[in-house]
Amino acid sequence: MNLYMVKYALDEEKGIRRLLQDKYLIAERRYKGDTAASDVLLDLELAIKSAYLTEKQRHVIHFLYGESQMTQTEVANKLRVSQKQISIHLRAAIKKITKVYKTWRYNEIEMLVVVDDMECTTV
């Protein structure tokens, strides 16, 4: 079992991208009674809703980081656009979500991640 600390800088695009990528690791903790994980996910959903994403941006976030966790190429095929367009929509969406967190004056959160078991817990 490998443990490592992950820092999510919520006022930076890189941190938001990482948080979106790890969303399901964090969600697993919610079902194990980790209320801090629930708070992180609720805040993320609210930030996404508050970011006023376009329809394409919402779709890109949903397909890349939702249940299906598709690749950019798969999303491009599904939406009938180029992979470059997916990348552009993703970058714009992450920028908008980051702006919401900056408005809320969020800085950084830390999560302890268990790699082998695909689990994480908040610290």
What single-letter DSSP state applies at residue 66? S
CATH code of the domain in which 112 resides: 1.10.10.10
Residues 22-54 pLDDT 10s: 998 888 878 878 888 889 999 999 999 999 999
**Contact (CB, 8 A) for 61 and 23:** no
HSE of 66, CA atoms in CB hemisphere, 13 A: 10
**Contact (CB, 8 A) for 75 and 63:** yes
Average pLDDT over residues 101-122: 75
Average pLDDT over residues 90-104: 98
Average pLDDT over residues 66-91: 96
Rounded Cα distance between 120 and 25, Å, is: 6
Query: Could you tell me the pTM of the whole model?
Result: 0.87
Q: Which domain holds residue 85?
A: 3-122
Q: Which helix (H) or strand (E) holds 68?
A: none
Give the pLDDT band (50/70/90) at residue 3. low
Pairing of strands 108-114, 119-122: antiparallel
Count of the separate structural domains present in the chain: 1
